[in-house]
Amino acid sequence: MKNLTLKLLLYYFIVAGIAAHLLLLVVLVKDRTLIPVVKEKLVNFVVGSEADAPALLPSTEQIHADIAAVFTPWQADNKNYPERYGVWVNNQPFDSLPLAVAALNHGDTLHIGSGVYDNAFKISKDDITIIGYGHVVFEKGSVNGKGFILATGNNLTVHNIECRYISVPSKNGACIRLEGLGLTLNKVYFHSSEEGILETASKPGNIYITNSRFELLGKAGQAHAMYLNKANLFFSNSIVVASKDQGHGIKSRGAVTVIENSILAGLSAQDSRLVDISNGGKLSIKGSVLQQGPFSANHQAIGYGLEGIKHSENAVNISDNVFILERQGSNLLYKAHDAAPPAQIVNNMIVGADSRDNDNFHFANRQKAGLAAYPLLPALLCDSGQKC
């Protein structure tokens, strides 16, 4: 009788396991956007995270306090885009934002006056420019369960917009869901949402981001401050701070990623990697401050090609930066796939890393490096919101 019971239990677990895998396969076939999510979680399980991450996480109030200690509140660009009211396309006023969006033709400019808007919208035309005058806020809405702005046209430009509180059932609600080619952002503030940008275009384009801030973004390890699937990224004079819920700061599968004169800081949030270049390509990080906080869920600050090298041209150049790695436990600056090319990591100040080399300037802690105590960061981008 005992042997029969054991056999029945064994058969039960075998059948249950097969059924579970078949159900997962059906779900992935129906929604292929989940495939990279599942793959990423498997990769992170094997090589990405460390068991020494702290179990007790700081409160939301503490995270906000740390952000406030380092960065001044975001301010709209009232100098270049002074406060106005109403909505208009080119020189024609409209009674509402939905009416103005419906009237757009290729090459038009959508002007939006100060206020809070919850009318999420789709941009299907090419070469559209959106400008906020005064303090313009997009919040809470979404189109087709994807994001506040669903951009299916090419070459969208957005100036002087704040976007917040975007969430959808699939847990990857974005301020901008980019399905077309080409995006330029200047002076935007995307925060307190599941995702800042999610790009799912059918072929590569370029994304240019300047003078912008991405804060408190991420969800369940599958949504990130920005998640690019094919686009090249050029990120400069901008800030990614306190990615949350094990989200990466910048996750990109594109062929080119350039980060210059910027700040990527975890502070006290439970983020994952600061930069995750999932499939290799050309990566350049220069003149920036990268700080991984004590509560990060991942011991790797930068990951390269950990989901397979898939580009024909691959190179890594990380130079003239300040790294402050102060996670509780292991701190690894860079982790790459075995097939990745040798990385050029030179002339950086590196504080708190587990390993040492002769090409960079290493310090055991902030005090030995002559830096201010946590959570303060070295002075950079003073005109873009950091306290100096």
The per-residue pLDDT for range 180-198, each reduced to its tens digit, is 999 999 999 999 999 999 9
Tell me the fold of 31-384. Answer: Pectate Lyase C-like (2.160.20)
Cα angle 332, 258, 325 (rounded to 5 degrees) comes to: 20
| Higher pLDDT pick, 126 / 32 | 126
Q: Give me the phi and psi of 235, to 5 degrees please.
A: -120, 115
How far is residue 302's CA from residue 230's CA, in Å, rounded to a whole number? Answer: 19
The per-residue pLDDT for range 142-188, each reduced to its tens digit, is 999 999 999 999 999 999 999 999 999 999 999 999 999 999 999 99
The per-residue pLDDT for range 307-365, each reduced to its tens digit, is 999 999 999 999 999 999 999 999 999 999 999 999 999 999 999 999 999 999 999 99
Whether the Cβ atoms of residue 335 and residue 305 lie closer than 8 Å to each other = no
Domain positions in the chain:
31-384
How far is residue 241's CA from residue 243's CA, in Å, rounded to a whole number? Answer: 6
Predicted local confidence at residue 56, as pLDDT = 82
Please state the pTM of the whole predicted model: 0.87
Structure tokens at 89: 């396309």
The per-residue pLDDT for range 233-253, each reduced to its tens digit, is 999 999 999 999 999 999 999
